[in-house]
Amino acid sequence: MWRRNIAKEPLDACSSKYGPRVAKADPLNETEEVFWRALMRIVISLPRCLDADLVRTVGVTANEYTTLMCLSEAPGRELRMTDLANAAALSASRMTRLVDDLQTRGLVTKRTSSEDGRGNVAKLTPAGLAKLKQAWPTHLASVRGRVFDHVDPGTVTNAAQALAEIAAQLEAGC
């Protein structure tokens, strides 16, 4: 069994039985701390607000809106369920339940894949596209009113670049 030699470990390393050795990090400065805490509040609050706006106005959740949007942008307005789950950032089981509900409401159809007969494919129906078009103005107004109306346009460019870089790094693997 591998054993650490405690005497040879760098003094700036942290480790525990719960995780790998992690280099000691410098504390966040005041600006970084404010940014980080605001980002965490946004990550928690914004989805709830967007969801509430969509449900109240057009009767779809933010996850349903995202699913309809992903299907509308796909070739033939259809995607394999696994690809749809990934595109919408939902688990496979959550996407299955969501698509089943959308199918019950006539907004999507679900069929077995003709390519391999193993997976399922979700397809946007005309009613689903109509619902998406009905929801789009609410979604746009919500995003503008809750985010962009409160940010200087010059800041948006820098923030978009920074957030895109962070997202790409996270999507590459945690």
Question: Can you give the CATH number for the domain in which 93 is found?
Answer: 1.10.10.10
User: Which of 5-19, 31-45, 112-126, 148-162 shows the lowest mean pLDDT across its residues?
Assistant: 5-19
Residue 46 lies in a domain: no
CB under 8 Å, gap of 24 or more: what pairs does 152-156 form? none
User: What is the domain count for the chain?
Assistant: 1
Residue 161 lies in a domain: no
Q: Who's near 63: CB < 8 A, 6+ residues apart?
A: 51, 88, 90, 94, 98
Residue 167 lies in a domain: no
Nearest to 88 by CA among 68, 103, 66: 66
Residue 16 lies in a domain: no
Q: What is the mean pLDDT of the chain?
A: 89
Predicted local distance difference test score (pLDDT) of residue 46: 96
Structural domain of 92: 55-136
Residue 66 lies in a domain: yes
Confidence of residue 72 (pLDDT cuts 50, 70, 90): very high
Residue 159 lies in a domain: no
Residue 38 lies in a domain: no
Is the pLDDT at 11 greater than 50, yes or no? no
Q: Identify the three-state secondary structure at position 101.
A: helix
Predicted local distance difference test score (pLDDT) of residue 23: 72
Predicted local distance difference test score (pLDDT) of residue 35: 94
